[in-house]
Amino acid sequence: MQRLNGGAKLVSAVVLSGAVLLAAETRKEFHFTVGARPTVSVTNQYGSVSVKPATANQVTVTAILRSDKVEIDKGQSGNRVDLLSHLLDGANAENGRVDYELAVPSDASVILSSTSGPLRAEGLHGDVTLEGANTNVDVREISDAHVHVKTLNGPITLTNIRDGHVEITSVSGNITLHSVSGPHVQVNSNSGWIRYDGDFGYGGEYYLSSHTGDIDATAPQDASIDITARSVRGKVENDFPLQPKHTPFVVKAGSAFAGTMNRAASSVKLFSFSGKIHLKKR
């Protein structure tokens, strides 16, 4: 009897706590009808924001709120939709968490921020602006748009960005650019490393710089670039036979190199204070 009682208590405790969790966690869905090229902004405090393309001229938002310590303020003003996680008294990183999933028209511009939660955007051809303090960032399949990322920490990955106007600033996040090209690609890192793997497009300006982080750039043999690389206190290494160019740039074996490949259509500059720089053959 005693044992049965104990078992019953345990079961009821499990059922109860499950019920409490279920009651506390809520799922909300919002729909906004928008016109061409809308702007969608999500300001989250804790939790993830993920954006995918949808065909209809509609913004669909699914949000999981971890508790009633957090609310969502939402608003639409013309072609702009704003969502904001709004913390109430007693909220913390756990119970104040909201996870957002959005489906937006593919021509939408999105502005996403979260202090500590992954940010992800894919399949858009509108501008993407992402910001967060300790935030993983994953951006893929974006074309003909500005992609601006600002974080303090957390890895940043950009994949398949075409005709992009890319600007990344991060203090200690590691940055990976895979098949990223466009008229302007600028990465400003501090202690995080930068890895670029792509063909540097045709006719763009690429500027990858760090303080102490290493910079690796991997390109195919037919990349058309005019490159300068320099590390003030670190080493530089180059796997390509570059054509020398007339330049005031001081080429110093081991710490700087410069030259061109093929038609030198894109300008590439790699610079670090103490990180290692390596231009690799794919």
Partner 1 sequence: MTGARKPQGDGLSEAEAIERAKQGDAEAFEVLYNLHKRRVYSLCLRMTANTAEAEDLSQEAFLQLFRKIGTFRGESAFSTWLHRMAVNVVLMRLRKKGLSVVPLEETMETDEESPKKEPGAQDPSLAGAVDRLELQRAVEALPPGYRTIFVLHDIEGFEHNEIADMVGCSIGNSKSQLHKARMKLRDSLRTSRAAKAEKP
Partner 2 sequence: MTCAEFQQVLPEMLEGDRNTEHAAHLASCSACSDLISDLKAISEAARQLRALDEPSPRVWNSLEIELRREGLIRQPQREPALVPSRARRPWAWMVPVAAVLLVGFGIIVYQRGSDQQAEMAKNQAPVAPAVAVLPASNVSPSHRSDDDRQLLEAVGTRSPETRAQYAVDLNHVNAYIQDAEQSAQSDPNDEDAQQSLLNAYDQRAMLYQMALDRSLP
Please, what is the minimum distance in Å from the beta carbon of residue 41 to partner 1? 7
Does position 73 bind partner 2 by CB under 8 A? yes
Task: Collapse the DSSP code of 214 into the 3-class scheme (helix H, G, I; strand E, B; otherwise coil) and give the result.
Answer: coil
Question: Which residue in the block uniquely carries the two structure tokens 């190199």?
Answer: 257
Q: Counting beta carbons within 10 angstroms of the beta carbon of residue 138, is it exposed (0 to 12), middle (13 to 18) or buried (19 or more)?
A: middle
209: enclosing H helix or E strand = strand 205-210
The residue range among 21-29, 124-132, 193-201, 239-247 that interacts with partner 2, by the rule CB under 8 A, is 124-132
62 binds, among partner 2, partner 1, none (CB under 5 to 8 A by kind): none
- What are the residues binding partner 1 (CB under 8 A)? 41, 43, 45, 73-75, 77-78, 80, 82-87, 91, 115, 133, 144, 165, 183-184
Does position 153 bind partner 2 by CB under 8 A? yes
186: enclosing H helix or E strand = strand 184-189
Please, what is the minimum distance in Å from the beta carbon of residue 263 to partner 2? 25
Residues with Cβ within 8 Å of residue 100, at least 6 apart in sequence? 42, 44, 47, 48, 49, 50, 61, 62, 63, 83
Please, what is the minimum distance in Å from the beta carbon of residue 37 to partner 1? 8
Does position 232 bind partner 2 by CB under 8 A? yes
Q: Are 167 and 149 in contact (CB under 8 A)?
A: yes
Query: Would you say 37 or 263 has its CB closer to partner 2?
Result: 37
Does position 171 bind partner 2 by CB under 8 A? yes
Q: Are 87 and 45 in contact (CB under 8 A)?
A: yes
| Integer Cα distance of 19 and 33 in angstroms | 35
State which of residues 126, 182, 198, 201 lies at the interface with partner 2 (CB under 8 A).
126
Please, what is the minimum distance in Å from the beta carbon of residue 66 to partner 2? 18
74 binds, among partner 1, partner 2, none (CB under 5 to 8 A by kind): partner 1
DSSP of 83-115 = EEEEE-TT--TTTTBEEEEEEEETT-EEEEEEE
Q: Report the first-to-last Cα separation within the chain, whole angstroms.
A: 72
Does position 30 bind partner 2 by CB under 8 A? no
30 binds, among partner 1, partner 2, none (CB under 5 to 8 A by kind): none
| Integer Cα distance of 13 and 25 in angstroms | 18
Does position 127 bind partner 2 by CB under 8 A? yes
Residues with Cβ within 8 Å of residue 190, at least 6 apart in sequence? 170, 171, 172, 210, 211, 212, 213
150 binds, among partner 2, partner 1, none (CB under 5 to 8 A by kind): partner 2
State which of residues 30, 224, 273, 276 lies at the interface with partner 2 (CB under 8 A).
273
Binding site for partner 2 (CB under 8 A): 37, 39, 41, 43, 73, 86-89, 109, 111, 113, 115, 126-127, 129, 131, 133-134, 146, 148, 150, 152-153, 167, 169, 171-172, 188, 190-191, 209, 211-212, 230, 232, 271, 273
